[in-house]
Amino acid sequence: MKISATVIVKNEEKNIFDCLNSLDFADEIIVVDSGSSDRTGEICSSHPKVRFYERAWEGFGRQKNIAAGLAANDWILNVDADERVTPELLLAIRAADFNGYAGFRVARRNFFGGRWIRYCGWYPDYNIRLYSRRLGSFKERAVHEAVECSGEVGKLQGDLLHYSYSSVSDYLQRMDRYSSLAAEEIVKSGRNPGYCHLLLRPAFTFFKMYLLKLGIFEGYLGFQLSILYSMYTFAKYAKAVELSEKVKERV
């Protein structure tokens, strides 16, 4: 089965070279860039299998669907620039029986600051990443996008390596953007966030990650991650409350 790999990028010169090397088995690699000012385009254009496009940013889900629409093949393997296909996953892809399936879930091995996080709900973190574009596509959300398939979904052995955040500072810098996008999704969905969300949801996030998802076994880093994600939850709902009140004022 011919496979097109898709990657959306912006200023990913630190990640994209290793990402593309791990996708070298694909029949083609579609890269959609949304305005990089570093060497991302130069690195991508030097790879013999890359077809490089520049498109204005339209949100994570929409951008990934645009990339899939530019592919020559129906089966799409979507990865992010900070992800790598392992040899074990490659073998599983090559051995997969595509007949009767709309897509396949893949386990992600998430890293924080270079360390593989086994608990906190971070592993195996299954996501549909290999799918038929005739039977599936990304839900066009601003953030936390995922593939939705109309058909049976299988599961592949092997992991997709995800080097998510390099440090606490890296997390905090991106938290502001992601929490704003998530707040917009909350308001857009018609939900009415209240002040009780600001009190209860961050506390539950910490409880779930640190205790229910066994983050306690990660030591100090598990505690730190649980705190950081509870901060993200608070920021998301605080912004949603603020945005919701602004919408009501305009009405």
Q: What is the pLDDT of residues 84-113, one digit of tens each?
A: 999 999 999 999 999 999 999 999 999 999
Say yes or no: 183 and 112 in one domain: no
pLDDT-derived band at 251 (thresholds 50, 70, 90) equals low
Whether the per-residue pLDDT at 120 is higher than 90: the answer is: yes
Residue 140: predicted pLDDT = 92
Which structural domain range is residue 28 located in?
A: 3-165
* pTM exceeds 0.85 for this model: yes
- The rounded mean pLDDT for the chain is 96
What SS3 state is found at 52? strand
Say yes or no: 16 and 109 in one domain: yes
Number of structural domains (the chain) is 2
Say yes or no: 150 and 245 in one domain: no
Last residue in a domain, options 135, 165, 195: 165
* Helix or strand holding residue 251 (H, E): none
Q: Which tens digit of pLDDT belongs to each residue from 148-164? A: 999 999 999 999 999 99
Whether the per-residue pLDDT at 121 is higher than 90: the answer is: yes
Say yes or no: 35 and 137 in one domain: yes
